Amino acid sequence: MTADSLTFRMPDPERHLRGVRLQQDVRLPGELLGFARAGDDWVLTVPRPDVDRMEYSFEIQFEGGGSEWICDPANPRRVGGAFGDKSVLEMPGYFAPKWLDADPPRGARGELALPTRALDEAVPAILWSSHGSADDDELPLLVVHDGPEYDALSSLTLFLDAMVDEGRLPPMRAALLAPVGRNESYAASAPYSRALALGLVPALHKVAPTSVTLGMGASLGGLAMLHAQRSHPGTFSGLYLQSSSFFHRLLDEQESSFERFQRVTFFVESVLRSGPALEPVPIVMTCGLIEENVENNRLMTRSLGAQGYDTRLVENRDGHTYTGWRDTFDPNLVDLVRRVLDGPAPHEA
């Protein structure tokens, strides 16, 4: 690694490979990603991308045909993701959040199966409650799409435990919802929004007493949270949306093969064309500067702000990754919860 470039190396002393390509999501041009043979190795040098972290893998192509994606054998650093482990490079100046080293009292966890007539099957969920909470305590509730994966790959409940232990967040609960038919349910689906607002959230309130419910999601999960808030005002008092898939016909043509692209763009365009909102809520959005979604998130931020939402967009030097989402929790998720609980400042009221 230099200030301007990155060099990758794949050993192949027995010459089993016919080629190697770098797989990445930091917008390096495709014509730059093929390795060249150099003696017993395959070697690639690319411009250093404008990020603080880079997740990547190698596609190795075999002489006899076929290919396989693998982690970089020369780099011991790995990071989990929705589609398995990848190698990761951390650029000079990158630091993981300090709260990852915290050792707070851990909250209680229980498994739920939330039935709803609007879906063909119950939605599995994990209900986390901060340490020392009683079952009948009325506490703020954070409802999280892709919740179990969020927790496993972004350490969400560790973050909440640490913030409650430090007094930066009040005692609270989080409902970690697993997806059911994710690409269908989360893609601006009216049946799913009804199920969430009229079935799942009321069912959660029976086991998790609360007067304040917030929604959280990433990618399609973030889109689905905004869709539910727009379709069923009053369900959520605030939203934390990360790299949300606010696909736009002009900005996101590369996503047009997605099976629900038209339904998503119809919803997004309906929001962008709307006038003042009947029930705006505080919203924090986060997105990586290198992401394809960053322009549609900027557009949505401006539009919702014009409609009366207290909407803030946080951009970080990462991609569409659970680690990048994790790295924006502090202070932004804390600030959203406090803003919802405390209400607007006097000069904002």
Find the CATH number of the domain harbouring 112. 3.40.50.1820
Nearest to 51 by CA among 294, 289, 242: 289
pTM: 0.94
How far, in Å, CA of 204 to CA of 138, rounded? 12
**Domain finish residue from 56, 90, 124:** 90
> What are 323's two structure tokens?
């680690």
- Co-location of 107 and 84 in the same domain: no
> What are 179's two structure tokens?
């997806």
Q: How far is CA 109 from CA 21, 76, 125, 161, 278, in A?
A: 42, 32, 10, 12, 36
* Residue 201 is assigned to a structural domain of this protein: yes
Overall domain count for the chain: 2
- Co-location of 271 and 323 in the same domain: yes
* Residue 223 is assigned to a structural domain of this protein: yes
Q: What is the pLDDT of residue 209?
A: 96
Nearest to 248 by CA among 295, 307, 310, 186: 295
Question: Are the beta carbons of 240 and 336 closer than 8 angstroms?
Answer: yes
Question: Which residues of the chain have a pLDDT value below 70?
Answer: 344-349
Q: What is the pLDDT of residue 117?
A: 83
Name the residue type at position 77: R
Q: What is the pLDDT of residue 348?
A: 55
* Residue 349 is assigned to a structural domain of this protein: no
- Co-location of 228 and 259 in the same domain: yes
How much is the mean pLDDT over the chain? 95
- Co-location of 53 and 132 in the same domain: no
* Residue 151 is assigned to a structural domain of this protein: yes
Asked if omega into 76 is within 30° of 0 (cis), the reply is no
How far, in Å, CA of 177 to CA of 123, rounded? 7
* Residue 326 is assigned to a structural domain of this protein: yes
> What are 233's two structure tokens?
């005002």
> What are 246's two structure tokens?
């606010």
How far, in Å, CA of 141 to CA of 144, rounded? 10
Helix (H) or strand (E) holding 18: strand 17-24
Q: What is the pLDDT of residue 342?
A: 92
* Residue 217 is assigned to a structural domain of this protein: yes
Question: Are the beta carbons of 238 and 283 closer than 8 angstroms?
Answer: yes
Q: Can you say whether the dihedral through the CA atoms of 97, 100, 102, 106 is positive or negative?
A: positive
Q: What is the pLDDT of residue 337?
A: 98
List pLDDT tens digits, range 80-91.
887 789 999 999
- Co-location of 176 and 59 in the same domain: no
- Co-location of 138 and 86 in the same domain: no
- Co-location of 111 and 85 in the same domain: no
- Check which CATH number belongs to the domain holding 31 and give it: 2.60.40.10
Return the SS3 of 247: coil
List pLDDT tens digits, range 85-122.
999 999 999 999 999 999 999 999 999 999 888 888 89
Q: What is the pLDDT of residue 84?
A: 85
Give the gyration radius of the chain's Cα atoms: 22
Helix (H) or strand (E) holding 205: helix 201-207
**Domain finish residue from 90, 108, 129:** 90
How far, in Å, CA of 58 to CA of 49, rounded? 17
How far, in Å, CA of 24 to CA of 321, rounded? 12
> What are 240's two structure tokens?
């934390």
Beta-sheet pairing, 311-316 with 283-288? parallel
- Co-location of 105 and 50 in the same domain: no
* Residue 348 is assigned to a structural domain of this protein: no
Q: What is the pLDDT of residue 74?
A: 94
- Co-location of 159 and 306 in the same domain: yes
Q: Domain residues for 332?
A: 98-342
Question: Are the beta carbons of 307 and 275 closer than 8 angstroms?
Answer: yes
- Determine the longest span between alpha carbons in the chain, in angstroms: 71
- Co-location of 52 and 77 in the same domain: yes
- Co-location of 51 and 154 in the same domain: no
Report CA 171 to chain centroid distance, whole Å: 23
Neighbouring-strand partners of residue 88: 55
* Residue 347 is assigned to a structural domain of this protein: no
- Co-location of 194 and 51 in the same domain: no
Q: What is the pLDDT of residue 345?
A: 59
**Domain finish residue from 90, 119, 143:** 90
Q: What is the pLDDT of residue 120?
A: 82
